[in-house]
Amino acid sequence: MKKFGVFAAVALAFAMPRLATAEARVESNVVFGMYSGLALLMDIHYPAEPNGYGIVHVSGSGWARALAYNATPLTQRQHVQLEAQPLVDAGYTVFTINHRAAPRFQVEAMVEDVQRAIRFVRYHATQYDIDADRIGAMAGSSGGHLVSMAGVLDGSGDPEDSDPINRVSAKVQCVVGRAVPADLSAIAAENRSFALALLVGAAYSNDPDSAEARRYVSASPTSYVSPDDPPFLLAHGDADPVVPFEQAGLFADVLNAAGVEAKVVPIPEAGHSPAIFEDPELQAAMIDWFDQHLRD
């Protein structure tokens, strides 16, 4: 089974979920886990006309957040309006999350937080009136990397864990990613990114046998692809100056080679911004993908 990291975050306190009402609303700062006294928070966006399916969303941030006490949470970034709101309008209940971030934390912690959020949503699916067996994930850039990791990792729960939430699966059943950094080694070989170094905790090395190179491989979604992975829709601007456009095709090729359905949606002349989801055609493609693979 595919595993990633060994840092188990045992929740000490949770905000009790409430049933969705007949009108659109947002439930803010729901505690989905605790880590050494640090509360992990999510906002839940309830649609006016729920379709019974949930999507976990992660705003992009370069995997990093400011150290100031008044730093803007991921749940309040523009990505929520641009990427998640079209899904809410289409009837999906969206769970947009905060996660531990660089420079204080590295990739293992971030992936564990996303998996914890998925487990929390699945465990409380009845209260949220969604299907526990069909949960999707949507995010872009660094968030796209993290939800892609959640898509390709095994995600099995630990049946012996004292926390019942940690016993359920963290596997999602469908993924939509924007500008996903899928093979970090390939990106680092061309651009010795400081953000990547903070993410994996090591500067890139061309020596494939080095500990540093192995860190980049272990942090890459392409390293964990297997036939049981969910379908991926990969949107990417062909003029993206941050994450090379070739990453979308590379990831799709690895997925397809394993028998996993994957589709690339190139956005002509588009850069890295989440504003590409202002395009009604891309919004429709995203919603159709989730409708096809979650609802049908």
pLDDT of 229 reads 98
Name the helix (H) or strand (E) containing 123.
helix 107-123
> What radius of gyration, in Å, describes the C-alpha atoms of the chain?
18
Tokens 């840092």 belong to residue: 7
CA distance 261 to 248: 13
CA end-to-end distance (rounded Å), the chain: 28
Long-range contacts, 80-85 (Cβ 8 Å, 24+): 80/43, 80/45, 82/274, 82/275, 82/277, 82/278, 83/57, 83/59, 83/138, 83/139, 83/140, 83/178, 83/274, 83/277, 84/45, 84/55, 84/57, 84/138, 85/45
Residues 6+ apart with CB under 8 A from 81: none
Closest CA to 100 of 83, 85, 115: 115
pLDDT of 190 reads 84
Torsion sign, CA atoms 230, 17, 84, 247: negative
CA distance 136 to 200: 26
Q: Is 162 helix (H, G, I), strand (E, B) or coil?
A: coil
Domain range list for the chain: 25-183+220-295
Per residue of the chain (296 residues), give pLDDT as tens: 454 443 343 333 444 444 444 678 999 999 999 999 999 999 999 999 999 999 999 999 999 999 999 999 999 999 999 999 999 999 999 999 999 999 999 999 999 999 999 999 999 999 999 999 999 999 999 999 999 999 999 999 999 999 999 999 999 999 999 999 999 999 998 876 778 988 999 988 889 999 999 999 999 999 999 999 999 999 999 999 999 999 999 999 999 999 999 999 999 999 999 999 999 999 999 999 999 999 87
CB-based burial, 165-174: b 16+ in 10 Å, e otherwise? bbebbbbbbb
Name the helix (H) or strand (E) containing 89.
helix 85-89
pLDDT of 2 reads 53
How many CB atoms are closer than 10 A to CB 259? 11
Whether 55 contacts 136, CB under 8 Å: yes
Whether 47 contacts 66, CB under 8 Å: no
pLDDT of 192 reads 66
- Tell me the pTM: 0.91
User: DSSP letters along 201-245, please?
Assistant: TS---S-TTSHHHHHHHHT-GGGG--TTPPPEEEEEETT-SSS-T
Residues 6+ apart with CB under 8 A from 168: 119, 122, 123, 157
Query: Which class in CATH covers the domain with range 25-183+220-295?
Result: alpha beta
Class of residue 248 by CB neighbours under 10 A (exposed 0-12, middle 13-18, buried 19+): buried
Whether 135 contacts 122, CB under 8 Å: yes
Closest CA to 175 of 281, 17, 57: 57
